[in-house]
């Protein structure tokens, strides 16, 4: 799933020269997307989830908790996406 | 499509009916549905799960609102020190949290529609600091601040957010308020007139109009303060 997230992050980034890895931050000082970009990323993941037959919930309690936020890194977002997919199946 | 909360009565019903009569597709949200010329979902806006479920249903149906109007609200006339905790929770829950939940659930759908407008409801009691309306005014002050921040955050998605802040309007919210109390409030408006639901509808209609596409993060006081 990280590949999927990396793909969309890369498309949404304004600075295309930044290397995106699984540890790239999506929130905080070193984030690569602004708040608008992060919302657009979530909308894209909603669409991806629909294609895969589940609903991606990006406004849950866990998403909003900074310590355990799914938006910490590309890999944490991908893990949450995958977790929600598995919970559905 | 235009989505209106509090659509079973008062200002919400008036606005939903106005836009329906103008030919817009309108969907209402209300705790209890009533016979109306537009479809209504039975939703308690204080229940974020219910609100999100409607948003999900609309997204699945690829029905994206371009306008969301948060007219659901309840009032309370109590002195600050004599307001029961249950009443305070109910007022803040409906007026402030309900507005937040609806905005959070439906703004992404407006974004999917390519942009649009959110109209939230405040009150003249915020600007006037009216005695006896501490919790009500505080909840609406929260709505004003929330709307200003929301407007900033959503601007990049081509979504505008504004507040309408009416004075005393003849709806159920004024039940129990005497004519003399209402007159005393109206006298403090720049235009000391008792405005109506129709006047609110006019402002809502104007705010939805593309000619006001330069306006966001503002509070429009009916009658002026």
- Residue A66: phi and psi, rounded to 5, are -65, -40
Q: What is the pLDDT of residue A76?
A: 92
Asked if the model's pLDDT at residue B224 lies above 70, the reply is yes
Are the C-beta atoms of residues B194 and B170 closer than 8 Å to each other? yes
Interface ipTM: 0.82
Q: What is the pLDDT of residue B72?
A: 97
Residues 140-159 of B with CB under 8 A from A: 153, 156-157
Domains and CATH numbers, chain B: 2-216 (3.40.50.720)
As a whole number of Å, the end-to-end CA separation of chain B is: 32
| CB-based contact A36 B157, cutoff 8 Å | yes
Longest dimension (CA), chain B: 50
Asked if the model's pLDDT at residue A66 lies above 60, the reply is no
| CB-based contact B153 A59, cutoff 8 Å | no
pLDDT digits (tens, 9 = 90+) for B136-147: 999 999 999 999
| CB-based contact A59 B104, cutoff 8 Å | yes
| CB-based contact A39 B108, cutoff 8 Å | yes
Could you please state the CATH topology (level 3) that the domain comprising A2-88 is classified under.
Answer: 1.10.1200
As a whole number of Å, the end-to-end CA separation of chain A is: 16
Sorting pLDDT into bands at 50, 70 and 90, what band is A62? low
Q: Which residues of B touch A50 (CB under 8 A)?
A: 60
pTM for this prediction: 0.92
| CB-based contact A59 B56, cutoff 8 Å | no
Q: Which residues of B touch A14 (CB under 8 A)?
A: none
Q: Please name which of B4, B11, B36 lies closest in space to residue B173, comparing C-alpha atoms.
A: B11
Q: What is the pLDDT of residue A63?
A: 61
Q: What is the pLDDT of residue A15?
A: 83
Number of other CB atoms surrounding residue A44 within 10 Å: 18
pLDDT digits (tens, 9 = 90+) for B98-133: 999 999 999 999 999 999 999 999 999 999 999 999
Min distance A81 CA to chain B CA atoms (Å): 17
Burial class of residue A29 in the structure, from the number of CB atoms within 10 Å of its CB (0-12 exposed, 13-18 middle, 19+ buried): exposed
């Amino acid at each position: 799933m990280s590949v999927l997230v990396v793909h969309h992050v890369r498309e949404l980034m304004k600075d295309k020269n930044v290397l995106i890895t699984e540890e790239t931050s999506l929130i905080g000082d070193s984030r690569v997307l602004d708040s608008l970009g992060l919302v657009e990323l979530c909308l894209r993941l909603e669409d991806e989830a629909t294609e895969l037959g589940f609903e991606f919930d990006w406004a849950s309690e866990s998403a909003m908790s900074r310590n355990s936020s799914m938006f910490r890194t590309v890999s944490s977002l991908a893990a949450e996406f995958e977790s929600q997919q598995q919970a559905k199946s | 499509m235009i989505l209106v909360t509090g659509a079973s009565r008062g200002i919400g019903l008036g606005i939903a009916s106005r836009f329906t009569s103008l030919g817009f597709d309108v969907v209402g949200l209300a705790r209890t549905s009533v016979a109306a010329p537009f479809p209504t979902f039975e939703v308690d806006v204080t229940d974020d799960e219910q609100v999100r479920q409607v948003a999900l249903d609309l997204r699945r149906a690829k029905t994206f609102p371009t306008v969301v109007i948060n007219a659901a609200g309840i009032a309370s006339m109590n002195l600050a020190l004599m307001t029961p905790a249950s009443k305070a929770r109910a007022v803040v829950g409906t007026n402030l949290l309900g507005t937040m939940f609806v905005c959070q659930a439906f703004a992404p759908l407006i974004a999917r529609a390519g942009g649009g407008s959110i109209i939230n409801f405040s009150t003249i009691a915020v600007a006037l600091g009216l005695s006896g309306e501490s919790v009500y005014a505080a909840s609406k002050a929260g709505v004003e601040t929330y709307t200003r921040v929301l407007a900033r955050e959503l601007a990049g998605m081509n979504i505008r957010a504004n507040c309408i802040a009416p004075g005393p309007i003849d709806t159920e919210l004024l039940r129990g308020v005497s004519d003399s109390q209402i007159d005393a409030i109206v006298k403090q408006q720049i235009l000391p007139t008792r405005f109506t639901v129709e006047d609110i509808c006019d402002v809502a209609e104007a705010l939805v109009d593309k000619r006001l596409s330069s306006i966001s993060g503002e509070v429009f006081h009916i009658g002026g303060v």
